[in-house]
Amino acid sequence: MPLSEPERLALGRACRYRIHGFHELAPALTFQAMTRWSQSHGVEHDVYGEGKLIADFEQKIAALLGKEAAVFMPSGMMAQLSALRIWTERARLGRFGMHASSHLDLHEEEAHQALLHLHGVRVGERHRPIVAADLAKIAEPLACLLVELPMRELGGMLPSWIELEALKACARERGVPLHMDGARLWETAAHFGKSYAEIAADFSSVYVSVYKGIGGIAGALLAGDAPFAANARLWRRRLGGTLIHQSPMIVAAAMQFDKRLAMMGPLLARARELAEGLNGIDGIRTLPRVPQANMLHVFFDAPPHAVLEARDQIAQSDNCWLLGRAAPADVPGWSRTEIYVGDGLLELDNDRVMAFFTQLMKIARRQIHDDSTN
């Protein structure tokens, strides 16, 4: 009998080893770590976004991105909507460009349309990043072009450095401001071998998350030139994001920010080792085949229910949680999942991990056989 969803969640939490993501402390332990860090750094609350803690963190992120200023936002969605509002107002044009797999299009309940009455034009092809030729094909004017680095829905895929530079040049020629959806920008520097400022150069604005990859409680920053940042603060207030105290979100991110950035190189190397092993197992493929960030999509020649039941059996027998959700893939009969490589995978050698996934496919195929004979 398959486990219920609450039983599966409990099973996953109880496992000693996890392939996906970073180890998460229990809330009480997280709050204790925040208390110690706050005491050692003399933290005082900001008041409606004003104060030394938040100002210093904003300036740190702005400098890292090579921008004049940055503004803390309680959510990435608010940051993205603020950026789109600013660029469309400046252009006096309610139309912007985005990829077909954009978070705005897939996961935000059409907020840019419902709240801001903006029209998103799809640029490029679904299964690869936007390149200069895609922008050149767009005949209608755009207030800005939103570019995601790396692309979550494509397993962390990135354009080549040459392609990215060509896209920047094309945008300059057309007078189209580039806005970066950099929710996972921190994962890109190891692949490009460039600084964050070099990657963000020629982007007129950049959004970065401080919980994705960094491990904060929540929050994001929106960076650009000084007038852009001032306008972003205005839109943060208009959208209800200027909270009385934002210091808890700042502390949760700032106390581990540098440590997490330093891990990105080793995590990318581990992701590539993982993908190489997985692509050697019959019935498993990854996207990309060679990861460009410490994340990837894994495809199984088995339906989701068989993969999840196999995962549960291995969790019960070997105390290892191999994956989270599994969804149907575009190819009938296949399923897919996302694996974000964090410190959990660093604890396990690749031979052991490959043995787990080989066993997962054996169990899943046995489940398929049982289903077909019943």
pLDDT of residue 3: 87
Domain spans of the chain, in order of start: 5-22+259-373, 46-244
What does the alpha-carbon distance between residue 41 and residue 232 come to, in Å, rounded to a whole number? 28
The DSSP call for residue 3 is P
Residue 339 burial by CB count (10 A; 0-12/13-18/19+): exposed, middle or buried?
buried
What does the alpha-carbon distance between residue 162 and residue 43 come to, in Å, rounded to a whole number? 43
Q: Which of 315, 295, 263, 273 lies closest to 17 in space, CA to CA? A: 315
Stated pTM of the model:
0.95
CATH number listed for the domain at residues 46-244: 3.40.640.10
What is the second-level CATH architecture of the domain 5-22+259-373?
Alpha-Beta Complex (3.90)
Per residue of the chain (374 residues), give pLDDT as tens.
688 889 899 999 999 999 999 988 899 999 999 999 999 999 999 999 999 999 999 999 999 999 999 999 999 999 999 999 999 999 999 999 999 999 998 888 899 999 999 999 999 999 999 999 999 999 999 999 999 999 999 999 999 999 999 999 999 999 999 999 999 999 999 999 999 999 999 999 999 999 999 999 999 999 999 999 999 999 999 999 999 999 999 999 999 999 999 999 999 999 999 999 999 999 999 999 999 999 999 999 999 999 999 999 999 999 999 999 999 999 999 999 999 999 999 989 999 999 999 999 999 999 887 777 76
User: Token pair for residue 79?
Assistant: 């940051």
What does the alpha-carbon distance between residue 193 and residue 198 come to, in Å, rounded to a whole number? 10
Q: Which residues of 287-307 are buried (b: 16+ CB within 10 A; e: fewer)?
A: bbeebbbbbbbbbbbbbbebb
CA 318-287-330 angle, 5° bins: 95
Find out whether 289 and 279 touch, Cβ atoms under 8 Å: yes
